[in-house]
Amino acid sequence: MSDKLVAAQVRHYPPGDLAVWILIMAELLVFALFFAAYGFTRMGHVALFNQYQATLDRTAAVANTLALITASYFVVRAVAAIREGNSRHSARWLWAGVGMGVLFLFIKGGEYAEHLSHGINLSTNTFYMFYLSLTFFHFMHVIVGVIVLVILAVKVGQGRYSAAEHADVESGASYWHMVDLVWLILFPLVYVMH
């Protein structure tokens, strides 16, 4: 670790913009409330939740988990690169992150198409209501995350950030990690837990 890198980390902690952290806290609170509501409701309908949980495509969800974790790894590398002032590498890692995010959207979109073809919607039953609400709300966050990464990748590629000035990259990365983190709770909660 170079001295410059350490200095950059000390200058901004937590990394990125405070406004983004306020947003992240609010979003985590929304998800936490939704997760709590899920757990609470599940207690009253364990059999129903277990029955319909079995209809979900767990393989797709595992693939998506890997996609998001990989994307987060790429984003970490992108931030590390820009902290070294290496815009070219940083942009490349960001585009790789975008790729993984898009992969997630494709796989999840496939799952939704499958549900739709079976006529499943928010009003089908309580389990699907929660499953669709939670995953779709998260799905929209992934879309936003991908858009953010694309914007950052373009701007980094244009060399608009440097080792000294890259708070936007850190902000975007923080947001992306939040989206990833939420999925890491959502996946076991909704797809796996019996």
Partner 1 sequence: MSQAFTKAMARNIFYGGSVFFFLLFLALTFDSEATFPERDNRQNITESVAMGKRLWEENNCIGCHTLLGEGAYFAPELGNAYKRLGGREGIMAFIMSRPKDGVPGRRSMPQFNFTQEELEALADFLKYVSEINTADWPPNIQG
Partner 2 sequence: MQYKSQAVAKLYFIAAIGLFVGQILFGVILGLQYVIGDFLFPEIPFNVARMVHTNLLIVWLLFGFMGAAYYLVPEEAERELVSPGLAVLMFWVFLIAGALTILGYLLVPYSGLAQMTGNDLLPTMGREFLEQPTITKIGIVVVALAFLYNIGMTILSGRKTVVNLVLLIGLVGLAVFFLFSFYNPDNLVKDKYYWWWVVHLWVEGVWELILGSILAFVLIKTTGVDREVIEKWLYVIIAMTLITGIIGTGHHYYWIGTPDYWQWWGSVFSAMEPIPFFMMTVFAFNMVNRRRRNHPNKAAVLWALGTAVMAFLGAGVWGFLHTLAPVNYYTHGTQITAAHGHMAFYGAYVMIVLTMISYAMPMLRGRKAASSNRSQVLEMWSFWLMTVSMVFITLFLTGAGILQTYLQRYSDTPLPFMVVQEKIELFYWMREVAGVVFLIGLLVYIASFFVGTKEPEVVLEQTDA
Among 4, 6, 18, 109, binds partner 1 (CB under 8 A): 18
Cβ nearer to partner 2, comparing 53 with 125: 125
Among 114, 133, 157, 160, binds partner 2 (CB under 8 A): 133
Q: What string marks each residue from 103 to 132 as x (binds partner 1 by CB under 8 A) or -? A: ------------------xxx---------
What does 29 interact with, of partner 2, partner 1, none (CB < 5 to 8 A by kind)? partner 2
d(CA 160, CA 39): 45
What does 180 interact with, of partner 1, partner 2, none (CB < 5 to 8 A by kind)? none
Name the site residues for partner 1 (rule: CB under 8 A): 10-14, 16-20, 22-23, 121-123, 136-137, 140, 144, 167-168, 171
